[in-house]
Amino acid sequence: MSYRPMKTALALAVASLAVTAQAQQLQLEEVIVTAQKRVESLQDVPISVSAVSGEKMQDAQITNLEGLTTFVPNFSMNQSGISNNITIRGVSSGINPGFEQSTGMYVDGIYYGRGQLSRLPLFDMERIEVLRGPQPILFGKNSIAGAVSMITAKPSDEFEGQVTALYEFEEKQQDYRVVLSGPLTDTLSGRVAIMYRDQDGSFTNVNTGDDEKQEEETVFRGALRWTPTDLLEIDLKYEHAEFDDVGRNVELTQSIVRDDLVGTGAGIDYVTALDNFVGLANNVLMLDPPVDYAGEDGRLNRRRGGNGDFHNNTVDVGVLGINYALGDYTLTSTTGYLEYEFDQDCDCDFTGASVFNALQDESFEQFSQELRITSPGGETVDYIAGVFYQSSELEFEDSINVPTNSLLRLLNPNFSGISTRRFANQESDMWAVFAQATWNVSDQLRLVFGARYTEEDKEASKQQVHFAGGTAFPATDPGGALPNVFYGLNPLFGAFAIEPYDEIQGDRQEEAFTPLFTVQWDATDWAMVYATYTEGFKAGGFDIRSNGHPDPALVNACTLDTSATPPSCARDIVGVFEFDEEEAESIEIGAKMGLSAAAELNVAAFYTEYTNLQTSQFDGILGFNVTNAGEAEIKGVELDGRWLAAEGLTLSGSVAWLDFEYTDFPNNQCYFGQQVLDPGAVQPNGVTCDATGKRKEYTPEYSGSLTADYVFPLGDSLELRTTVDLVFSDDYLFNPTLDPRSEQDAYTEWNLRVSLGNVAGDWEVAFLGKNLSDEDVVTYGGEAPLAGALTGGTGMAYYSFLDRPRTLALQALYRF
């Protein structure tokens, strides 16, 4: 279904906001946010902000940031085989454990910079605020694309409790939650929240017969609030979360022959080549044991192969927040400790055949401290100023493993029971000072000045080691007698484009000054307009996933040219270790308008220039190399509005138009067959292609949502509530190579929630239907590893991660 009728519907809805005469007696409930570290009305904040309440998250069964993207335009969160990425206005970090996210995530004021933390289950939230565009001052830490501020529910002054349960029929999801909150003494309150969720998934693994991906999540959160005096408030929170997956929501799709060979009989597609390869193993060579394989069909139908993928996570967080009144001023201290561990096994050939698997193990620790002083507000000059410190330590290990029954032993009998392992560590210390002042020039005019100065030191090391038979082999330089130390195995890891090297080390010291200037004018009693200029900064770092040594003189391996006899090196492997900082300059002009007491409309137009964009490029085989992509220009418009059309009927919506263009990106990874389809873009090295003038992945031209919420009274004690959500998106590319075959078509999804409960809100039962139009939405994709090698470069297949199909659930809630 096309998104275009939805644009028409939005235009009609916005136009109807002007019809206000009959709605003068109605009044919208005010939306309160802390986007500027003060408690303010959303309509007073000169930032493009989308706020989603905890109640909306519970009603819509939003359990993580990926689910939140449905209701926030120009915002997406995508899980790939080995990473997680958040995108705002088309800007994200890409695949590499050395990256921090371009979108800063903050939970109760604590910075969550690692992509893995974006998978954290969300529940018992007060609200989530998504701030679009660079946020360099009050959030600051690497928030070059925007910030997501998540606020959990706090202990209450009166006793309250809530129990919810949900069962979803299609994926057999179960979700149970318990919340208890209230006073423990006259000055101490507490809150306990527990969640357990599991599900079977919508994919069928043709190799194992299981439903995937299977998910299991357990979260415990305990919070205390102590107010010993009227001047002092202390909040303490501890959270423990475990969230595990078995299998993946990914499958092989589009098994194709290179365009110039279609119909000539000179090429072979990947699925056919893989089937032939398995047949050769079992029927001709009579391998013992035989290859156990269920064939792939190469179609988008939620059927996949796989051999035991899993993903296990444990997260612990502690937060101490102190607010102390110094006269009319407020002194705030926020102390945070965060640690997580996760390990995963990715059957990253994405087939049921035994080829190779990728193991990953990561642990992370972080300590942060912020001190902030806030003026009382309402003065000639209002200000916020503070200092911030953070230290972190990352330990990372991953491996590529070729099992003893791998199909690759057909190429060479030594391709069995071997592996290559990478070990990496990174430490970071950073501090910053920041201030933002608002000069209230008059009752209508305000000028906002802000700046942040940041210094950060990073140290990192990594090493690549090959193993055979459990024995590690040291790396040697090309002048040694054993260039790859694997004797006859040199072509094997050469084919993987992975070389061994001794530990390499590096350190970076960076500093940045990021200013902000805003003009804010109350044009009328109902309309505020603003214009902002700001600069953003994202620190450089170290490439952890590159499979080669960064020094060309120390290259130990090479890629394998299988067409030569005997096989020989086609090109040397040159890796990456260090990448530079990323910078942005942005202008935003917006308006927050009340069309009546019952209607409001907000609009923001923006233009941002990025330089040295940090991107991660697939090397076409198994590795990812970080590069600073050059420059990009992004412009767009975002609108959102609400209308209390009648008693009990609320209409709301948001829509975004986005234009993204690489203005200088000569070194993007070529997509399959680009040498034939777009030869003018191919660089002299034959590996990278010029993407200048092209649009980035995850940048639909239009996206948005519309919601109608209607509460209908049934007598004096009951009410029926119906909520309809319509979510739409224009087409977009989902492959970082910008392969035109990797395009998600425009789509429209419908969600429905119908509930019956008592007026007091003590209980409720509801039916939930999500993606009722049963759209297949690809959230991430790329070329299947080794597909080009197995087809001799004549064929390819693509892997695609899919969002959930239509789901139907019953939900029950009881409050006491």
Please tell me whether residue 645 adopts helix, strand or coil conformation: strand
Let me know: does 208 contact 225? Beta carbons within 8 Å: no
The answer to whether residue 11 scores a pLDDT higher than 70 is no
Per-residue pLDDT, 620 = 61
Q: Which carries the bigger pLDDT value, residue 252 or residue 554?
A: 252
In single-letter form, the type of residue at position 311 comes to H
Q: Which residue has the tokens 């789901």?
A: 807
DSSP 8-state class, residue 305: -
Per-residue pLDDT, 712 = 95
Instruction: State the burial class of residue 104 (Cβ atoms within 10 Å of its Cβ: 0-12, 13-18, 19+).
Output: buried
Instruction: Provide φ and ψ at 353, rounded to 5°.
Output: -75, 155
DSSP 8-state class, residue 548: S
Show the DSSP H helices in 497-635 as ranges. Answer: none
Per-residue pLDDT, 19 = 43
Mean pLDDT throughout 278-282? 78
Per-residue pLDDT, 10 = 43
Q: Kindly indicate the confidence band of residue 402, based on its pLDDT and cuts at 50, 70 and 90.
A: confident
Q: Which carries the bigger pLDDT value, residue 573 or residue 798?
A: 798
Strands of 403-486 (E only): list them.
418-440, 445-468, 471-473
**Radius of gyration of the chain measured on its C-alpha atoms:** 27
CA 627 – CA 432 distance, rounded (Å): 27
Per-residue pLDDT, 490 = 44
CA 121 – CA 63 distance, rounded (Å): 6
What would the pLDDT profile of 117-140 be if each residue is shown by its tens digit?
988 999 999 999 999 999 999 997
In single-letter form, the type of residue at position 816 comes to F
Instruction: State the burial class of residue 377 (Cβ atoms within 10 Å of its Cβ: 0-12, 13-18, 19+).
Output: middle
Instruction: Provide φ and ψ at 169, rounded to 5°.
Output: -85, -35
Give the dihedral of Cα atoms 671, 677, 683, 686; nearest 10 deg: 70
The answer to whether residue 87 scores a pLDDT higher than 80 is yes
DSSP letters of 250-300?
A: EEEEEEEE-GGGTTTT----HHHHHHHHHHIIIIIS--SSPP-------SS
Percent of the chain clearing pLDDT 70 (strictly above): 89
For residue 508, the number of C-alpha atoms closer than 13 Å in the C-beta half-sphere is 21
The answer to whether residue 420 scores a pLDDT higher than 90 is no
Per-residue pLDDT, 259 = 86
Strands of 98-249 (E only): list them.
103-107, 110-112, 125-132, 146-152, 160-168, 173-183, 188-199, 203-205, 211-212, 214-229, 232-246
Mean pLDDT throughout 212-231? 96
Please tell me whether residue 552 adopts helix, strand or coil conformation: helix
Least confident interval from 476-490, 622-636, 668-682, 752-766: 476-490
The answer to whether residue 15 scores a pLDDT higher than 90 is no
The answer to whether residue 693 scores a pLDDT higher than 80 is yes
According to DSSP, the β-strands at 732-733 and 763-770 are unpaired
Let me know: does 794 contact 266? Beta carbons within 8 Å: yes
CA 507 – CA 425 distance, rounded (Å): 12
What would the pLDDT profile of 451-490 be if each residue is shown by its tens digit?
999 999 999 999 988 887 777 776 654 433 333 433 334 4
Let me know: does 18 contact 641? Beta carbons within 8 Å: no
Q: Which carries the bigger pLDDT value, residue 587 or residue 59?
A: 587
The answer to whether residue 207 scores a pLDDT higher than 90 is no
Per-residue pLDDT, 285 = 64
Helix or strand holding residue 340 (H, E) = strand 329-346
Q: Kindly indicate the confidence band of residue 12, based on its pLDDT and cuts at 50, 70 and 90.
A: very low
Least confident interval from 54-58, 224-228, 238-242, 303-307: 303-307
What would the pLDDT profile of 711-737 be if each residue is shown by its tens digit?
999 999 999 999 999 999 999 999 888
What would the pLDDT profile of 173-193 be if each residue is shown by its tens digit?
999 999 999 999 999 999 999
Per-residue pLDDT, 1 = 39
Per-residue pLDDT, 555 = 60
640 Cβ neighbours under 8 A, 6+ residues apart: 50, 73, 601, 602, 652, 653, 654, 655
The answer to whether residue 104 scores a pLDDT higher than 70 is yes
Closest CA to 800 of 730, 743, 732: 743
Per-residue pLDDT, 8 = 42
724 Cβ neighbours under 8 A, 6+ residues apart: 707, 708, 750, 751, 752
Closest CA to 580 of 620, 548, 537, 640: 537
CA 491 – CA 483 distance, rounded (Å): 11
Helix or strand holding residue 341 (H, E) = strand 329-346
Least confident interval from 96-100, 109-113, 655-659: 96-100
Let me know: does 528 contact 43? Beta carbons within 8 Å: yes
Q: Which carries the bigger pLDDT value, residue 99 or residue 488?
A: 99
The answer to whether residue 571 scores a pLDDT higher than 60 is no
Domain ranges of the chain: 32-152
Please tell me whether residue 12 adopts helix, strand or coil conformation: helix
- Tally of helices (H runs) and strands (E runs) in the chain: 7, 48
Select 32-152's CATH number: 2.40.340.10, 2.120.10.30, 3.40.920.10, 2.170.130.10: 2.170.130.10
Per-residue pLDDT, 404 = 80
CA 198 – CA 625 distance, rounded (Å): 35
Task: Give me the count of residues in the chain.
Answer: 816
Where residue 144 falls (left for φ over 0; alpha for ψ -120 to 50; beta otherwise) is alpha
- pLDDT, the chain, mean: 87
Let me know: does 41 contact 34? Beta carbons within 8 Å: no
